[in-house]
Amino acid sequence: MKTAKNLHTNPTSIKNRFSLRFLRAINKLNNNIISTPPPLNPADRRKRYHAIRAAAYASMALAVGPNKAWSRAVLRKIRNRTKEMIKPRTRRGAVGGSINPRNELGLGQENELRERVPGGEAMDFRRLLNETGHYIQCLRAQVQVMRKILHYSST
Amino acid sequence: MNSGLPEMLHCLNTNSGSTDMTVIQRQRSRLKWQQQQLIQHQPLAYFNEREALGASLLTLNNDQGLGEMLAPGAMKPDPGEENGWSDDFRRVLNYGNGSEFEMSYPIPRTVSCPPNVAAAMAAEVAADKGKEAALSSETGRESSKKRKAYKTQNLKVVAVDKSEEKKMKGCVEEESKITEQNSNSKSTTTTGSTATNNKNCKGPSANNSKENSKASDVPKPDYIHVRARRGQATDSHSLAERVRREKISERMKYLQDLVPGCNKITGKAGMLDEIINYVQSLQRQVEFLSMKLAAINPRLDFDIDNYLAKEIFPACTSNVPTIGASAEMVNPSHLQFNSLGHELSGTALEMCVNPLDITLRRTISAPVSIPDTFLDSSSLNQIQHLTWEDELQNLYSMEYQQERSTSFISQPFAGTENMSFQTLIPCSISYTN
């Protein structure tokens, strides 16, 4: 929120595109869900959560476009496994935890960063840093937009 | 000679097609070429054959630059040999036509003072072995050309060839700097130019042992890729590594500006840690927000309205913050009520995302007769108790209104909010308008 002005130079358009896509996706989800009876069981809720999260990531990646490696990776991941979104997350966290204490010298951090940034496994370090910068900007914009949507729709 | 030429041309053409060259072919062709040149020492014969070569190349519809290249070669019989060789290079490297005139300039100069260059060449052969990774590998091309010229005279063939081919691979991307290099080399003598070229790669302070004497008396070029400070390693690998590190640290600086709270941290590991944490936190935030959205939205239809408003409003203004502003414009009047609705939806979904939410939910879910506690907790001034049916009617009218009206009024959104609230909890409800 504080850095909104910083971001205005570049990703306002990305923000707009993201919010449009995201809201469209949520609408689609809602249209699907409205048919079901209101009290959702936990499994449904979880499914819905994952769907929304995937929608958020995918719409962000689509808004960014195919120029960035991370957006390509995100889209690839989502396309490859739309069914199970939980597993890789937990695995990823576990791997990061295991790698982190191993190395203090920057290599461990580098590996962890590679795992954090989607698609970062196969880049050289400089490219990874580039992608990380862009990814951070986009994530920030995403968080802002989602917060606004939430704020707007809930509070 | 005549038999050798077509073969060589063939080699050249095939090489020009592919960026990675077949080393053996090139070497073979070059050796043949040199032998033939040794056999025939008359410049006129070269002359004719060079022209023939140019013609045949042109008929083979390769670079037009070859014709240009061969023309200055035809003027002076001596540098013609080098022109042939530089043709070879250009062919292999797929160079553009624009640079070819400039390429042809240093060649006569190299011829003008042969005795120095032989020594320079020896130095370069030693120096250029690992140069292909360095940034200024293009400089090696020029010098390699000169070296070629003297190699045909001095018969130092094999070692030079090898070092050259190493360089050629690295050469390709550095073409744009040719002009500056040429201007540098014009200002100095040939030995000077070769030495400066080496200096470009090596850095001024420490040169290799062989070219120390030569580099000392040469003026510095004004175009330097990498400069080694005193005491730093100057072989090409460490130079390349230094360039890489500089670029990385530049990116790190950029990231440091990007990540809040990363400015104080020094050291790459700490910065990386901070960046990782930040990315992680952002990802978690996205997950958390999507969880919240999933918790709130499912039965509420007003996301469509949201969407409509967003599409109507920011599509023309094309600015996201206006949405937030308008949302804030809408919200304050119904803030308390809306927060209540939010909490209730949370209870209905039993999504404990927030400790605050949990506590609120407890307070809410404990009494079944909600309104009184609500009124207390929300401390609304003007409260109207409405029945469920009234509310619904109200709501539907509101929603209808809203779906029609593109104007962004606070009223319809209150209506939709109310709807969300009431679809969740069918009981009497506080309603502020």
The number of distinct structural domains making up chain A is: 1
Instruction: Note whether residue A2 is domain-resident.
Output: no
Residues 332-351 of B with CB under 8 A from A: 335, 338-339, 341-342, 345, 348-349, 351
Cβ neighbours of residue A24 under 8 Å, at least 6 residues apart?
A59, B307
Q: Is the minimum CB–CB distance between B247 and chain A shorter than 8 Å?
A: yes
pLDDT over 50 at A154, yes or no: yes
How much is the pLDDT for B221?
52
Instruction: Note whether residue A81 is domain-resident.
Output: yes
Instruction: Note whether residue A107 is domain-resident.
Output: no
Enclosing domain of residue A135: 14-87+118-154
How much is the pLDDT for B28?
64
How much is the pLDDT for B99?
39
Structure tokens at B356: 């605050």
SS3 call for B403: helix
Label residue B24 by pLDDT band (50, 70, 90).
Answer: low
Label residue A17 by pLDDT band (50, 70, 90).
Answer: confident
Higher-pLDDT residue of B143 and B353 is B143
Round to whole Å and give the CA distance between B296 and B345: 6
Contact B19, B95 (CB under 8 A): no
CA distance A134 to chain B (A): 9
Strand partners, B384: B431
How much is the pLDDT for A36?
57
Instruction: Note whether residue A111 is domain-resident.
Output: no
User: Most A CBs within 10 Å: which of B280, B303, B421, as the mutation test of the A interface?
Assistant: B303
- Range with top average pLDDT, B33-47, B94-108, B283-297: B283-297
From the list A3, A49, A129, which residue is nearest B290 (CB)? A49
Using alpha carbons only, what angle is made at residue A61 by residues A56 and A62, rounded to the nearest 5 degrees?
100
pLDDT digit string, tens, across residues B203-253: 344 344 444 444 445 555 555 455 667 777 778 888 888 888 888 888 888
Cβ of A116 within 8 Å of Cβ of B280? The answer is yes
Rounded mean pLDDT, A92-102 = 41
Label residue B4 by pLDDT band (50, 70, 90).
Answer: very low
pLDDT over 50 at B422, yes or no: no
pLDDT over 70 at B277, yes or no: yes
Instruction: Note whether residue A8 is domain-resident.
Output: no
Round to whole Å and give the CA distance between B198 and B339: 72
Task: Tell me the residue length of chain B.
Answer: 433
Q: State the maximum Cα–Cα separation within chain A, in Å, rounded to a whole number.
A: 54
Cβ contacts of B293 on chain A, cutoff 8 Å: 26, 52, 146, 149-150, 153
CA distance A146 to chain B (A): 6
Label residue A20 by pLDDT band (50, 70, 90).
Answer: confident
Q: How many CB atoms lie within 10 A of CB B64?
A: 12
Round to whole Å and give the CA distance between B423 and B73: 90
Q: How many CB atoms lie within 10 A of CB B115?
A: 8
Cβ of A139 within 8 Å of Cβ of B319? The answer is no
Cβ contacts of B323 on chain A, cutoff 8 Å: 19, 148, 152
Higher-pLDDT residue of B34 and B245 is B245
Cβ of B251 within 8 Å of Cβ of A135? The answer is no
Crossing angle of helices B137-154/B158-171, nearest 10°? 160
Round to whole Å and give the CA distance between A49 and A52: 5
| CA-only gyration radius of chain B, Å | 39
SS3 call for B386: strand
Contact B255, A126 (CB under 8 A): no
How much is the pLDDT for B309?
53
Structure tokens at A137: 């900007």
Instruction: Note whether residue A149 is domain-resident.
Output: yes
Cβ neighbours of residue B12 under 8 Å, at least 6 residues apart?
B29, B87, B88, B91, B92
Cβ of A132 within 8 Å of Cβ of B351? The answer is no
SS3 call for A57: helix
Cβ neighbours of residue B430 under 8 Å, at least 6 residues apart?
B337, B340, B371, B374, B375, B378, B380, B383, B384, B385
Name the percent of chain B lying above pLDDT 70.
16
pLDDT digit string, tens, across residues B324-352: 333 333 333 333 333 333 333 333 333 33
pLDDT digit string, tens, across residues A103-119: 444 567 778 888 888 88
Label residue B353 by pLDDT band (50, 70, 90).
Answer: very low
How does the average pLDDT of chain B come out, rounded? 49
Name the percent of chain A lying above pLDDT 90.
0
Contact A72, A66 (CB under 8 A): yes
Instruction: Note whether residue A43 is domain-resident.
Output: yes
Give the ipTM.
0.78
Round to whole Å and give the CA distance between B134 and B200: 10
Cβ contacts of B403 on chain A, cutoff 8 Å: none
- Range with top average pLDDT, B197-206, B210-219, B295-304, B318-327: B295-304
Lowest mean pLDDT among A145-154, B36-45, B187-196: B187-196
pLDDT over 60 at B101, yes or no: no
Rounded mean pLDDT, B183-209 = 40
Cβ contacts of B252 on chain A, cutoff 8 Å: 129
Higher-pLDDT residue of A70 and B124 is A70
Instruction: Note whether residue A82 is domain-resident.
Output: yes
pLDDT digit string, tens, across residues B47-100: 444 444 444 443 444 444 333 444 443 344 444 344 444 444 444 444 434 334
pLDDT digit string, tens, across residues A27-77: 787 777 655 555 567 777 788 888 888 888 888 888 888 888 888 888 888
